[in-house]
Structures are given as structure tokens and as C-alpha cells.
């Protein structure tokens, strides 16, 4: 099952994760407010399905909401989802193969819109 989580981060900040079962697929930077973390989730749900994929290993360029495939110095690949203003919203772990990075993108595009949100910052 795919889902988003809102988590507490250092210094009273918040962060977002998108998971498949217990595996974290992508995660965000820290946000100063929970509202900003929620906006991140809403934006991914709305914009990821139609976002283009830019393969930076092939010197491709893009604008608007987009997924980027990035190669590390150790020849692994990770995924970044960028907002229309060019700011990174979430990124993935480094994968041994580019195919795995592409699978991550397809999973986010397909599963994020209907994914439930668990707010782990709420105390019961």
C-alpha cells in the first residue's frame, strides 16, 4: 500500500515521506510548518501524474513540474521531483540501476494521487 507520512523533524520542523508498504520511496526537505508539508503532498498528488521526466545523464533539460534522473559519482541513480519554480520537493534513495529510478517515478505518478496521508505528528 502506498501512503504519505508527515513526520516531525529536528528543530520543530516537519518532513514528508512517500512509502510503499514500509519502504520509503521519496522524502522531502524539512519544512518550518506542517502547512508547508501538507502543501508539498497536495502538490505531488496534483502535479506528479502529468510531470515530465528529464534524464540529466543524457543532458536533457526541462521546466515546470518534473522528475529528474540524476547520476551520482558512484554511477548510481536517484530521482528528484521539482516544482515549477525549480525547487526540489522530494528525492529518492540512490539505485544501482537507472531502470529502478524509472520504476520509482512511475510508481509515484501512478500511486501518489490516491495515496492516504498519515500525520504522525498528531498525538492521541
Task: Reply yes or no on whether the pLDDT at 123 is more than 80.
Answer: no
Q: What is the pTM for the complete model shown?
A: 0.93
7-46 tens-digit pLDDT: 999 999 999 999 999 999 999 999 999 999 999 999 999 9
3 state SS of 33:
coil
Query: What is the pLDDT at residue 124?
Result: 58
Query: What is the pLDDT at residue 122?
Result: 82
Long-range contacts of 22-28 (CB under 8 A, 24+ apart): 24/93, 25/92, 25/104, 25/107, 25/108, 26/79, 26/81, 26/90, 26/91, 26/92, 26/104, 26/108, 27/90, 27/91, 28/89, 28/90
Amino acid at each position: 500500500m502506498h501512503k504519505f507520512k508527515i513526520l516531525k523533524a529536528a528543530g520543530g520542523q516537519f518532513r514528508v515521506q512517500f512509502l510503499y508498504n514500509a519502504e520509503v520511496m521519496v522524502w522531502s526537505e524539512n519544512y518550518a510548518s506542517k502547512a508547508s508539508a501538507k502543501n508539498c503532498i497536495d502538490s505531488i498528488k496534483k502535479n506528479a501524474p502529468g510531470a515530465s521526466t528529464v534524464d540529466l545523464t543524457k543532458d536533457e533539460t526541462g521546466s515546470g513540474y518534473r522528475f529528474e534522473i540524476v547520476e551520482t559519482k558512484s554511477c548510481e541513480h536517484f530521482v528528484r521531483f521539482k516544482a515549477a519554480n525549480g525547487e526540489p520537493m522530494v528525492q529518492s534513495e540512490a539505485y544501482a540501476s537507472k531502470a529502478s529510478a524509472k520504476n520509482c517515478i512511475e510508481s509515484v505518478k501512478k500511486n501518489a494521487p490516491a495515496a492516504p496521508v498519515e500525520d504522525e505528528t498528531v498525538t492521541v
